[in-house]
Structure 1
Amino acid sequence: MQPRAVDATGVAHEKAGADARIVSLVPSVTELLFALGLERQIVGRTGFCVHPRDKVRNVPKVGGTKAVNIHAIRALQPTHLIVNMDENERDTVEQLRAFVPHVVVTHPQTPQDNHSLYALLGAIFEREQEARRLSDAFQARLDEAASHAFAAQNVLYVIWREPWMTVARDTYISAMLRLVNWQTLPDVQGGAAGAARYPTFDFDHAPWLAGVDRILLSSEPYRFTQAHCDALKRDARVAGKRIELIDGEMVSWYGVRAIEGIAYLLKRAAGE
């Protein structure tokens, strides 16, 4: 049988067949697998794979995205493991590679990469028609975003505290925000020498902070709450800036969630 799809590491994968047993270590991909109609073939997922809520509860947990229970996965006898370059540890994936026949690596870096993600999983698991439907729906959202002329905003997208952390411009999150003309600060590329994709920062030593129009406190991976938001609004270092919570799933989850995510960002940018 000839290979049908190539993953993010250049590995070509053949069609899986109806007896595929899938373990997903990527929350957004788990949701996508259900959207592709693969419910009966998903045998394992992380505790962070929480969508669709009414269906994932029936799938055994195998730890977290990084704290993976290797023995639990071995017991499930998967034929396919879905991982992501950013979310899963390389050493863990290599240990799993020793007994999982097919490891599919994903790495969407821009919203447009969702098209290839749909096609990749659709081809491997013989859900090409479902994948095309998702791709069409996603393209409609991209077209809708492109039809608007949003005022430029410089944003600080905060994903963690103690230490404070944000996102570089070559991350999926930053690319999603650019769809509504929100440009992330600081202006750094995680691929640059010595730079991090998710850099730390200090409110006392961030000269670029003066150029920030709004600060977005994400609901994940750190669960910022209204209390955090209110506390930061009282901080003199960010006086005069718009500070608000944002749904991290809508911005950082690729796959089927990205379709709803663009609609969410369009409403936020329009001030609704």
Structure 2
Amino acid sequence: MQRTFTDQLNRTITINYPPQRIISLVPSQTELLFDLGLDQEIIGLTKFCIHPIEKFASRTKVGGTKKLNIELIRSLKPDLIIGNREENEKGQIELLMTEFPVWMSDIYELEDAKQTIQQIGELVDRGPEASYLNHLISAGFADLQTLAVQNHINQKVAYLIWRNPYMLAGKDTFINHILSLNGLQNVVKESRYPEIELEQLEILKPELIFLSSEPYPFNEKHMLEIQEVLPDAKIMLVDGEMFSWYGSRLVKAVQYLFQLQNELK
């Protein structure tokens, strides 16, 4: 049976339903597919799709999110490819679109993520499972927002994602929205992921500096390096997956963010 779906770039695709040969090009969406109960249907994923690790080991790796092995993808003959506007390279995705059904997400806020979960659920015949995940996520983040108010969390924060050059999560990012839902004010006013010198960051006077575990693997050495320039800021290493993965990992993120709030209150 064939069915037609519209993705988040407002493109229409027609697929054999339910799809039996799926390639996922985004780590958080790969984890979502497995958590929705798919297994043998997922035939390919990227080298960054590490969750769940036991599934990762047994699947064909089709390259990185921004450097795909197009010939390998062709050889797998997928009947559905799932990608993301920000995480995948536009030219490669457009090439794949000429040969295969490609469904794309485009996510900036929690509601976008929940919509993606539901739409992917419908796409792969797992609608009820997707609805249950969204129920858990909605309830969890509602509680987080309530607790942020009760705990009087309203610190100014800078969220670093890269070093040499330093790059931060700015406005119009999923990370920024997750920060705001937890009562935190992003000191960065530029959109997306601007570069910055530490001396410039000092002028913004963040009370908190979060060093993400991904895509750059910040560690304690970097904390000391930044503390020298910003001695008054509290610097913390944080789990980047809990702020930027927008699939089923959001269920786990709720507990992580509860604990983080407890450290900040």
Pairwise TM-score range, normalised by the shorter structure? over 0.9
Tell me which residue corresponds to 2:137: 138
What is the Cα-based RMSD across aligned positions, in Å?
1.8
Tell me which residue corresponds to 2:220: 226
Q: 1:115 to 1:205 in 2, by over 3 A?
A: closer
**Which whole-Å CA distance do the structure 1 matches of 2:9 and 2:60 have between them?**
27
Does structure 1 conserve the Cα–Cα contact (< 8 Å) formed by 2:85 and 2:105? Answer: yes
The structure where helix makes up a greater share of residues is: 2
Q: 1:217 aligns with which of 199, 202, 211?
A: 211
**Which whole-Å CA distance do the structure 2 matches of 1:230 and 1:205 have between them?**
18
**Which whole-Å CA distance do the structure 2 matches of 1:48 and 1:109 have between them?**
21
Q: 1:203 aligns with which of 198, 201, 219?
A: 198
**Which whole-Å CA distance do the structure 1 matches of 2:92 and 2:232 have between them?**
45
Per the TM alignment, residue 5 of structure 1 is displaced from its structure 2 partner at its CA by 4.0
User: Which string of whole-angstrom CA distances, capped at 9 and with x for unpartnered residues, describes residues 91-135 of structure 1?
Assistant: 0101212221x1000112111222211111111111111111111
Superposed, 1:109-258 pairs within 5 Å as 109-148=108-147, 149=149, 150-188=152-190, 190=191, 197-206=192-201, 208-210=203-205, 212-233=206-227, 235=228, 237-258=229-250
Superposed, 1:85-124 pairs within 5 Å as 85-100=85-100, 102-124=101-123
Per the TM alignment, residue 18 of structure 1 is displaced from its structure 2 partner at its CA by 3.9
State percent identity of aligned pairs: 36
**Which whole-Å CA distance do the structure 2 matches of 1:207 and 1:227 have between them?**
19
User: Which string of whole-angstrom CA distances, capped at 9 and with x for unpartnered residues, describes residues 28-84 of structure 1?
Assistant: 000000011111110100000000111121111011001111111111111111111
Tell me which residue corresponds to 2:24: 24
In structure 1, stretches of 5+ residues that fail to align are: 191-196
* Bigger Cα displacement from structure 2, 162-171 vs 145-154: 145-154
- 3-state secondary structure, aligned to 1:96: helix
Does structure 2 conserve the Cα–Cα contact (< 8 Å) formed by 1:21 and 1:79? Answer: yes
Tell me which residue corresponds to 1:262: 254
Does structure 2 conserve the Cα–Cα contact (< 8 Å) formed by 1:4 and 1:124? Answer: no
Residue 42 (str. 1) matches residue 42 (str. 2) = yes
- 3-state secondary structure, aligned to 1:231: helix
**Which whole-Å CA distance do the structure 2 matches of 1:208 and 1:95 have between them?**
44
**Which whole-Å CA distance do the structure 2 matches of 1:19 and 1:209 have between them?**
49
Q: How many aligned residue pairs are there?
A: 261
In structure 2, stretches of 5+ residues that fail to align are: none
**Which whole-Å CA distance do the structure 1 matches of 2:4 and 2:143 have between them?**
31
